[in-house]
Amino acid sequence: MAHIYRPKHHVRFVTASSLFDGHDAAINIMRRILQASGAEVIHLGHNRSVEEIVNAAIQEDVQGIAVSSYQGGHMEFFKYMYDLLQQRGASHIRIYGGGGGVIIPREIKELHAYGIARIFSPEDGRRYGLQGMINIMMEECDFPTVREITDEVERLANGDVQAVARLITVCENRVNAHSEVAATAEAVLQRVKAMAKRVPVVGVTGTGGAGKSSLTDELVRRFLNEIPEKKVAILSVDPTKQKTGGALLGDRIRMNAISSPRVYMRSLATRSSRSELSLAIQDAIEVVKAAGFDLVIVETSGIGQGDAAIKDICDIAMYVMTSEFGAPSQLEKIDMIDYADLIVINKFERQGSEDAKRQVQKQYQRSHQLFDRDVSEMPVFGTIASQFNDPGTNTLFVALIDLINERMGTNWTTTLQKVDRVEKQNVIIPNERRHYLREIADTIRQYHKRVNEQCDIARRVFQLEGAIETMNERHDEQALAALQEAKRSYEEKLTPESRKLLASWEDVKKKYAAKEFVTKVRDKEIVTPLKTKSLAGLDIPKVALPKFKDYGEILRWLYKENVPGAFPFTAGVFPFKRQEEDPKRQFAGEGTPERTNRRFHYLCKDDPAKRLSTAFDSVTLYGEDPNERPDIFGKIGESGVSVCTLDDMKKLYKGFDLCHPLTSVSMTINGPAPIILAMFLNTAIDQQVEKKEAELGRKLTKEEYEQVKAWTLQTVRGTVQADILKEDQGQNTCIFSTEFALRMMGDIQQYFIDNRVRNYYSVSISGYHIAEAGANPITQLAFTLANGFTYVEYYLSRGMHIDDFAPNLSFFFSNGLDPEYTVIGRVARRIWAVAMREKYGANERSQKLKYHVQTSGRSLHAQEIDFNDIRTTLQALMALHDNCNSLHTNAYDEAITTPTEESVRRAMAIQLIITKEHGLTKNENPLQGSFIIEELTDLVEEAVLKEFERLDERGGVLGAMEMQYQRGKIQDESMYYEMKKHSGELPIIGVNTYLNPNAAVEEEIESLQLARASYEEKQLQLENLRKFHEEHKDEVEEALARLKHVAVSGGNIFAELMETVKVASLGQITKALYEVGGQYRRNM
């Protein structure tokens, strides 16, 4: 077991992922090991700006900051952080970072020289191991942040944040300090107490997982909006692990309102208190009172039935619980009901909450002897803190302000209104449909049970035919009659579908034995050659069929496998691959739209099919506009293309006919997907309008414009990712509240139905990013399919017909080298087809699960990067043999940089060599008939169904998300993989075994061509944005006001976005939608 450094002082760290970076798998692993090593960790989660991190570090008085940065812009980011700490007088705080191979050796040296404590490289991970790197950080940060008190008390009177932070540290440290230090601290605190004003202290306590942090954040947001000029301090307490001394101080991650300069927040660990409060909490309250804060909120760690310590340190006590407290008699055991001034039943959307509220009101009435008042007057409130502008939380806030005014003599007012009834405003999955995943699992199992029964019957028929033939030869009439009667009896037990399948089998064999196969697609006749002649002169069949004679085996094969293009589509959703269009789809995006446009043209050179896949930079992915601020400026055009206006979108696809039948555009965008999609569709429409006007030699009339627009929408091909569920679970580019984001997804699909958009996928339900975050292949597949079925249920609940939207759904998987990846498409197609037909009654087009595969980014390593192409080749071969509908092969250098032209050419060659040169790939069902493939298919399918049941037990996908089940499972699997990799139990060639004795020296790594956006390109994007803003300055406010009105009034947001994007930039639209839909709240 690795040595663990144990600190002498209380070491505190702020951990986060950098701005516009959702890759939090690595930082989550590191913060867990920090906690286990005895550190108190304030985890901020993903997408954190330099200012947010520095503010948190100073307010929390930490020794170290640890940040992961995988999205480029790291030089500006880390330097800006260092500069800001220097400016704020916090130069003692040490900065640690890492970014896999993205931060190359010369950049690491430059950052070290600038003052960054350490940037860890993949080589450091190999040299020290995970614990070894943590030991270095812990030892270097093992020092007291406060060595002596100087002018902190004087600065405190002016509300100096650093003085507040340092004095709270003094409060914490004096608890177990020796007598001399304690005496000094006591003297200082006496001066502080003399300065403290009388201000309200609200204590918030409750059971673990009740949503205290979310509720506190919502109350603070209302306080800031409703009571101007006033300041609030939040003191949040989380438990210390007694075994290690470490603590996860995780409440900050849930707080969106604390970025205001009117808010101070400090997280405290319980340390040796052995209760839900820190022993220093009373002194900390005095410090923030003395600093001039007008309201103090103390939030405790989760408590049990017998805990009520909060009552001794607050003026108003609030107890937060949920409806899940068990039998009403359990309420009699909860001490806080006796002491609470306000009781909150949060997550009030859960079943039974109204009854629970009534029971709690009765218990409160009994506990407080208030029998002279009606039970409905008891201060028990239902809230849904996760709901934007929740009326229940508004009601609670009004009651809280009234109580503060009554107790403290303040005269605070609020414009918010009380309501009597609290309901979920945007119901995603109706309560009566909450068990949909269990129903789907049952449907699949029932299908297989029925298949087995039918196969047994068919086998009996085949056996009886053999016996009849034998009796015919023996002329045994009596036995013959009995056998024929038995055969008729069994034949009657065959379903009409079984009889039809068996009756048509010989015809199927004849069709595939011919030289050509004729199919019809939307009334278009397609002739496909069925044989490919090898160099040796053999005719290689495009589809090979089994040679079964037994009816049972034939039926089993047809029900479980069947030919490609036939239910249950196990072997593929189309009879054959497109002859004129290879399945390749290469990802591109770098710098400006003009630069990426050139890359697109390079990738499609001499190729009739233009299959474009677009990577956006992280500024765009998070719905923001480019900006000069260093931590934003550094990200412009890095790891993707910068697009923030309709003008940018037009430049991006210039020279491509977006309505050509062989053109298809995929866009990897999620949080701001509705805005980007509106820009893309407008680009396609404007292209066709320009063509039509050039053809006519004049401007179009309004009627002609609408006709061109309608035709464009019905013709354009492609995919937008827009999968908000997996963003919450894995990739983290959520920007809007989950419910609002889902509403916009539904609006997109409704717009597609209304405008007959048939060829463009409204969502790419993605497992790729779930896998990249650390999930194993079964978890990736199960979560992705479960998300897909959740969209189905949501769209059905909005009144859409299954066959109107199901064909607009597509999927996206990662392919690694684990055995399960060999059958990931087979299992996905079969589960989807069976569920859609048997449960939802969908037509054949809706039953077809179409998916894109990208080879595993996680399997790309910075060490021995040339080996990455070998892994990618194997992954690509697996995907193509599993009949994926399109494929992206990663470039070998993506572990370090955006791919260069040379590396992309190699990545493209991988696909082309497989499809053009690899002989077996001329056959299109090479996996069928293999015992191990069939076994794997059944094993993986059952594992997926069991995961569906686990999700169902947690309330379905959305209920499980609320409990952070998916995130937790993904993080656990990520940790398992990393530990196996670092221990060497999981061999990775060139990384932890078969190491190169002549490993690449730094000079060789430095010589790699890096695709980074230039300073001039970044400046160009800023200038273009300024021009766009200037051009539309007279129209934008009215357009944004219309958009917000549509959102508030329940209209179709996407339909209005189609107009808004003509005059407003991405960042302007995002900010407007935050006002009406709410911002995403991060999870641990």
Binding residue positions for substrate: 576, 611, 717, 761, 810, 845, 850
Is the CB of residue 569 less than 8 Å from the CB of residue 833? yes
Known binding residues for GTP are 209-214, 254, 346-349, 962, 1083
Is the CB of residue 177 less than 8 Å from the CB of residue 185? yes
Start-to-end C-alpha separation, the chain? 28
How is the chain split among helix, strand and coil, in percent rounded to 5?
A: 50, 15, 35
As a whole number of angstroms, the distance between CA 508 and CA 487 comes to 24
Please state the three-class secondary structure of 905-925 as a single string: HHHHHHHHHHHHHCHHHHCCC
As a whole number of angstroms, the distance between CA 659 and CA 716 comes to 5
As a whole number of angstroms, the distance between CA 1058 and CA 1077 comes to 18
What angle, 0 to 180 degrees and rounded to 10, lies between the N-to-C axes of helices 1066-1077 and 673-696? 130
Rg value, the chain, Cα? 32
Q: Which residues pair with 739 in a beta bridge?
A: none
Q: What is the number of alpha carbons within 13 Å of residue 544 lying toward its C-beta? A: 16
What's phi and psi for 927, nearest 5 deg?
-85, -25
Strands 524-529 vs 516-521: parallel, antiparallel or unpaired: antiparallel
Q: Is the peptide bond before 899 cis (omega within 30 degrees of 0)?
A: no
Q: What is the number of alpha carbons within 13 Å of residue 899 lying toward its C-beta? A: 26
- A 10 A CB-CB count for 469 gives 11
Known binding residues for Mg(2+) are 213, 237-238, 251, 299-300
Could you write out the DSSP letters of every residue in 1004-1073? HHHTS--B---HHHHHHHHHHHHHHHHHTTTTHHHHHHHHHHHHHHT--HHHHHHHHTTTS-HHHHHHHH
Helix and strand numbers, DSSP H then E, in the chain:
40, 26
Kindly state the tokens that stand for 313.
């340190």
Please state the three-class secondary structure of 232-258 as a single string: EEEEEEECECCCCCCEEECHHHHCCHH
Is the CB of residue 809 less than 8 Å from the CB of residue 758? no
CB under 8 Å to 727, separation ≥6 — which residues? 22, 670, 671, 733, 734, 769
| Residue from 700, 799, 812, 716 nearest 755 by CA | 716
Known binding residues are 23, 209-214, 237-238, 251, 254, 299-300, 346-349, 576, 611, 717, 761, 810, 845, 850, 962, 1083
Hey, what amino acid is at 220?
V
As a whole number of angstroms, the distance between CA 52 and CA 19 comes to 9
Kindly state the tokens that stand for 203.
């204590």
Known binding residues for adenosylcob(III)alamin are 23
Is the CB of residue 652 less than 8 Å from the CB of residue 614? yes
As a whole number of angstroms, the distance between CA 55 and CA 60 comes to 8
| Residue from 155, 393, 404 nearest 294 by CA | 404
Could you write out the DSSP letters of every residue in 878-898? HHHHTT-SEEEPPPGGGGTSB
- Give the full edge-to-edge strand order of the sheet including 295-299: 263-269, 232-238, 295-299, 201-206, 316-321, 342-345, 380-382
Is the CB of residue 775 less than 8 Å from the CB of residue 973? yes
Quote the longest CA-to-CA distance of the chain.
116
As a whole number of angstroms, the distance between CA 57 and CA 51 comes to 10
